[in-house]
Structure 1
């Protein structure tokens, strides 16, 4: 089956046999993502990531916390996972890539600190 990414969190959706009949309509990886949806703050985080990368030299990276701080300087810690989700959605769109220690990693399985950079 073709790979799909969740419309909310950007993680890879694993094919399940129960979805065989309606795989084309599957958009979310879980009930949690389906209920959460993409909120305006999520779009703000995506814009913050792209704006920060536009201000940097080619090949430079940013931390998701920079985007979270730009969107909400006081409550940025609560936006860390949404910022990572925004980065994964941008990876799915082909606009950025997620790196760890200088190497591109799979955004669905990356654990620990990540950096975001424009695709090459």
Structure 2
């Protein structure tokens, strides 16, 4: 024993299940004690995500991202705004956050990677401009 206290929120000697990915926003869902009995049923990270399940626009954004990447060189990246423009036309700005969510879901599926400054970043914590590329 190192004599150090256990990290806050963690039980010593108790194994926690692997984190999951939110079905709506693609962010990581960390295991919580309150979900101990229902962890297998947890699919959403928040009430807001539970209310806004992915629909046809979200699927169109995912398709747009994969189609844009397929039409470019293997090492090329795209901005989520390109997918938003392809799906939303004149009202593309309203689709920016849904496009980022679509990119995070594709990361969880292992199809793409999200980068900043040319380095792969955790999509759950990335802030600011991002680029999307095919998974390597």
Which residue matches 1:88? Answer: 104
| Cα distance in structure 1, aligned partners of 2:107 and 2:72 | 18
Which residue matches 2:134? Answer: 118
1:37 aligns with 2:57: no
| Cα distance in structure 2, aligned partners of 1:57 and 1:31 | 39
Q: CA deviation at 1:14?
A: 1.8
Summarize the alignment of residues 8-87 of structure 1 with structure 2, pairs less than 5 Å apart.
8-87=24-103
Higher helix proportion: 1
- SS of the counterpart of 1:75? helix
Q: What are structure 1's unaligned runs of at least 5 residues?
A: none
| Cα distance in structure 1, aligned partners of 2:109 and 2:103 | 10
Which runs of structure 1 show a deviation greater than 3 angstroms over 4 or more consecutive aligned residues? none
Which residue matches 1:3? Answer: 19
Which residue matches 2:12? Answer: none
Q: CA deviation at 1:22?
A: 0.8
Q: What are structure 2's unaligned runs of at least 5 residues?
A: 1-16
For normalisation by structure 2, the TM-score amounts to 0.87
Q: CA deviation at 1:62?
A: 0.0
Q: Which has the higher contact order (CA 8 A, sep 6+)?
A: 1
- SS of the counterpart of 1:117? strand
Q: CA deviation at 1:15?
A: 1.4
Greater C-alpha radius of gyration: 2
Q: CA deviation at 1:39?
A: 1.1
For normalisation by structure 1, the TM-score amounts to 0.99
